[in-house]
Amino acid sequence: MSLKNNKPQTIAQKILACHCGKEYVEEGEIVNANVDLVLGNDITMPLAIGEFKKIGVKKVFNKNKIAIVPDHFTPNKDIKSAEQAKILRDFAAEYEIKNYFEIGCMGIEHALIPEAGLAVPGDLIIGADSHTCTYGALGALSTGMGSTDIGMAMATGKTWFMVPKTIRFNFTGSLNPWVSGKDLILFIIGKIGVDGALYRSLEFTGDTISGLSMDGRFTMANMVIEAGAKFGIFNVDSKTKEFLSKIGKRDTEYKIFGSDPDAVYEKIYDINSDEIDLLVAAPNLPSNVKKAKDLGNVTIDQVVIGSCTNGRIEDLKIANDILAGKKVNKNLRVIIIPATQKIYLEALKRGFIENFIKAGCVVSTPTCGPCLGGHMGILAQGERAISTTNRNFVGRMGHPKSEVYLSGPAVAAASALTGRISLPEE
């Protein structure tokens, strides 16, 4: 339907309006919207399935618009995780869920969903995982919700939203060596805090963003929740279209929305990208952001390169560029986790996996694993890790008296060589 009206709108307003059959929605308005994809994983989907079955409906709203990805504790680490995964497997079979990703074809959900072509511009996507906001990199409106909401949406294809206010971040200038999307989003979180964008939509614009890779954009969108945001979104441009074309999506299969030139923003931040250094979030909040060069005395016991934030091929290439032909420090463990099977295979073809193993790293099958303290790298009391994951709360990766520092892949890989937080060599 046409979205023509006399009032300017942001991208978030336009997508929500389109999905609830309106030409215009007001900030703060409560709307009931149709969704394009409902997503869950092996932790959250069993709860959603339980709520779904309480309703007593005989079928899901659309078996092609639900995605189930067992990724947090898979391959199953214990009996409980195996039982959780079995609930997903049985539900997918019973309700003929098309997009169920079993081990062998699975991946970390927020890398797998775009790769599988299940998120496109203009979509409204909800998932029972807080980092569902990742798909904003593609010009979609996506967000995490609780398992009860997901259960209801699987039955009805609808859910409610409050139309958010929008904050715009305009990045201009060139990125310094090794600086990536992770540093840009850490800069924002450090600037506004973990509650600086509560239930807001964040728009990312400017020539720095235009030059940023899709992998970098996915990283930024992934972490808007760490500032409390409901959505994070990028304009669709030639890089977006190239990504979509490579995964077999034609431009007739999606709809592009853009904010009106006179759209109203709650705040606009103009940021000079030249001034952004390699950054690290120190314990115990993603907002405790410091320059990596100021943390050189911090020794570490473990390095993790992976996750839905930084487990894509660009991240692995950065790590490879730093680690190839070298040996990691003998006093620490280095765990590298490609985010999907496709990424793993591409890294294998490029020789990254061989280089990582020769350097003394361990390479895991795709899994969330240590990010949430699940498996594949739990920290003991007093241990400290630097990780390309998205959260560093108390006990996030293991013992409550362990510590997690968050960084991009360049600082993580450089630190793997020295055993302390380090900058990569120029």
If you search the block for the tokens 């949430």, which residue do you land on? 372
pLDDT digits (tens, 9 = 90+) for 273-283: 999 999 999 99
Flag whether pLDDT at 23 surpasses 60.
yes
Flag whether pLDDT at 2 surpasses 90.
no
Global pTM value: 0.95
pLDDT digits (tens, 9 = 90+) for 222-231: 999 999 999 9
pLDDT digits (tens, 9 = 90+) for 115-139: 999 999 999 999 999 999 999 999 9
Quote the pLDDT of residue 5: 63
371: left (phi over 0), alpha (psi -120 to 50) or beta: alpha
Quote the pLDDT of residue 425: 86
**Chain-wide mean pLDDT for the chain?**
96
- The vertex-44 CA angle with 132 and 110, nearest 5°, equals 25
Quote the pLDDT of residue 106: 86
pLDDT digits (tens, 9 = 90+) for 237-266: 999 999 999 999 998 999 999 999 999 999
Q: Round to whole Å and give the CA distance between 33 and 23.
A: 13
CB proximity list for 347: less than 8 A, separation 6 or greater: 313, 316, 320, 338, 353
Q: Residue type for 401, please? A: K
Q: Round to whole Å and give the CA distance between 271 and 276.
A: 9
CATH topology of domain 10-276: Aconitase; domain 3 (3.30.499)
Quote the pLDDT of residue 1: 42
Quote the pLDDT of residue 329: 97
What are the C-alpha distances in Å from 51 to residues 84, 100, 117, 127, 153?
A: 15, 19, 28, 15, 10
pLDDT digits (tens, 9 = 90+) for 131-190: 999 999 999 999 999 999 999 999 999 999 999 999 999 999 999 999 999 999 999 999
Higher pLDDT, residue 6 or 374: 374
pLDDT digits (tens, 9 = 90+) for 287-342: 999 999 999 999 999 999 999 999 999 999 999 999 999 999 999 999 999 999 99
CATH topology of domain 279-418: Aconitase; domain 3 (3.30.499)
pLDDT digits (tens, 9 = 90+) for 67-92: 999 999 989 999 999 999 999 999 99
Question: Residue range 15-37: average pLDDT?
Answer: 97
pLDDT digits (tens, 9 = 90+) for 383-421: 999 999 999 999 999 999 999 999 999 999 999 999 999
Strand arrangement of the beta sheet that strand 201-205 belongs to: 231-234, 201-205, 166-172, 267-272
DSSP, res 273:
G
Quote the pLDDT of residue 6: 73
> Could you check whether 10-276 and 279-418 share the same CATH topology?
yes
Show me where the domains of the chain are located.
10-276, 279-418
Flag whether pLDDT at 426 surpasses 70.
no
Q: Round to whole Å and give the CA distance between 108 and 67.
A: 12
Flag whether pLDDT at 204 surpasses 70.
yes
